[in-house]
Amino acid sequence: VPQQPRTGAWLVGARGSVATTTILGAAALRAGLAGPSGLVTELPDFAPAGLVPVDDLVFGGHDPSPSSLLKRAENLVAGGVVPAQLVASLHDELVTVDREVRPGIAAGPAGRPDRAVIDELAGDIGEFRDRHRLDRVVVVNVASTEAPVQERAEHRSWAELSRALDAGSRDLLPASSLYAVAAIEAGCAYADFTPSPGGRLPAVQQLAYERGLPYAGSDAKTGETLVKSVLAPMFAMRALRVRSWAGLNLLGGGDGATLADAEVAQSKLTSKSQALTAVLGGGVTAPMHIDYVPNLGDWKTAWDHISFEGFLGVPMTLQFTWQGCDSALAAPLVLDLVRLLARAHEIGKFGALEELSFFFKDPVGTDEHRLSAQWEALRRLAADFSEPAPVSEAG
């Protein structure tokens, strides 16, 4: 019987709510304590795609937080996200994974040359791979969102950026991009679940391409934007003219606290605005707000008010309210991305995986935001995975 390749999932932000729910969820599935609800890659379309079973994933990650996975899991229990019994049953698994978490690097000036930081981060991932004899590792950034950066023109190509790093530059790259470079230099597929600069910089994407590695991003689509990417195409297809689409988002939890900073929130607002503009054009008035409401914890509320007009200019309105549990929506998608990127890496697919646009608010490699078109692209990818193109013989 051929051995299943061994796959690691390295989460940047490993002690956050999304990461903890991901790790807990994978352990719960393995123990038969939870079902696959919310896990796209468990749908029948993906059965022949040769994806690594969730049960076989090995977890590790970076997080400068001195807290522990167990503590975060207990917070999730207190917030009503996961049952206490589940955390009690999986206590040992959480403690084991917590030993695989390294401090990494906090956001903000590191005070050390970027090159040294990258080598250290890549070293942590390499040691994890060796320790567990993994065939490949997928790195997913689920750390706190960072503010946008002004990209410097002279570092647009990897060759230029690399020269600056070798010359001892400090604080040239934000932490999320140091992690992305480290992941790629460690030979890993990479996904950016956040709207941080991370792997978006053209020089970093060029590095992934040159190293023959697949990457995907940015900013997972789990709530309001998911609904928008279904409804906006409906208005477009029915020739109903959307006049305005206002969105109010109320968020608690760590993500809400991070986004209370106006500069950081700009990263999120920019990626959230992509879908409407792409599907309906730029003529729609679309104000959007994110407010931090601590007592909501992991539950986010989005209220959208859409005014549109029909035949003879008759004005009409659609309103919707989405009340989702952030981490429960996000965690299965992290597992989906790890499985899909691991398979892409295995069969030699590389560069921007635009077929994963289904999962993102601001997808790399494509302007396609309509969920149904994104779903078809994902299904085609699954079919490619089932019958990968033969690799031509060297020489």
Q: Does 228 bind ligand NAD (CB under 6 A)?
A: no
Q: Does 368 bind ligand NAD (CB under 6 A)?
A: no
Q: Which is nearer to ligand NAD, 7 or 327 (CB)?
A: 327
- 133 and 5 Cβ atoms separated by less than 8 Å: no
- Region near ligand NAD per CB under 6 A, out of 105-113, 286-294, 348-356, 371-379: 105-113
- 91 and 70 Cβ atoms separated by less than 8 Å: yes
For ligand NAD, the binding residue among 25, 148, 253, 363 (CB under 6 A) is: 253
Residue 226, beta-bridge partner list: none
Q: Which two tokens stand for residue 74?
A: 């207990």
* H helices, E strands: number in the chain: 14, 11
Cα(297)–Cα(281) distance, integer angstroms: 34
Q: Does 177 bind ligand NAD (CB under 6 A)?
A: no
Measured in whole angstroms, the distance separating CA 212 from the mean position of its chain's CA atoms is 20
For ligand NAD, the binding residue among 7, 22, 144, 374 (CB under 6 A) is: 144
Strand order in the sheet with 58-62: 101-102, 58-62, 7-12, 136-141, 189-192, 214-216, 351-352
Q: Does 104 bind ligand NAD (CB under 6 A)?
A: yes
From residue 266, alpha-carbon distances to 184, 196, 271, 286, 377 in Å are 27, 10, 9, 15, 29
Give every CB contact of residue 338 below 8 A, 6+ residues apart in sequence.
7, 9, 52, 57, 138, 140, 191
For ligand NAD, the binding residue among 93, 98, 192, 255 (CB under 6 A) is: 255
Cα(31)–Cα(25) distance, integer angstroms: 10
Q: Does 73 bind ligand NAD (CB under 6 A)?
A: no
For ligand NAD, the binding residue among 42, 219, 304, 355 (CB under 6 A) is: 219
Q: Does 52 bind ligand NAD (CB under 6 A)?
A: no
Q: Does 106 bind ligand NAD (CB under 6 A)?
A: yes
Site string for ligand NAD, 2-31 (x = CB under 6 A): ----------xx-xxxx-------------
Site string for ligand NAD, 263-292 (x = CB under 6 A): ------------------------------
Q: Which two tokens stand for residue 90?
A: 């999986």
For ligand NAD, the binding residue among 145, 177, 205, 229 (CB under 6 A) is: 145
For ligand NAD, the binding residue among 33, 77, 107, 260 (CB under 6 A) is: 107
Cα(280)–Cα(286) distance, integer angstroms: 11
| Angle formed by the axes of helices 114-131 and 175-185, nearest 10° | 50
- φ, ψ of residue 290 in degrees (nearest 5): -125, 120
Q: How many residues bind ligand NAD (CB under 6 A)?
A: 32
- Region near ligand NAD per CB under 6 A, out of 33-41, 56-64, 230-238, 239-247: 56-64
Least Å distance, CB 395 to ligand NAD, is 43
Q: Does 332 bind ligand NAD (CB under 6 A)?
A: no
For ligand NAD, the binding residue among 182, 201, 220, 290 (CB under 6 A) is: 220
Binding site for ligand NAD (CB under 6 A): 12-13, 15-18, 62-65, 104-107, 142-145, 175, 193-194, 219-220, 222, 253-255, 258, 326-327, 329-330
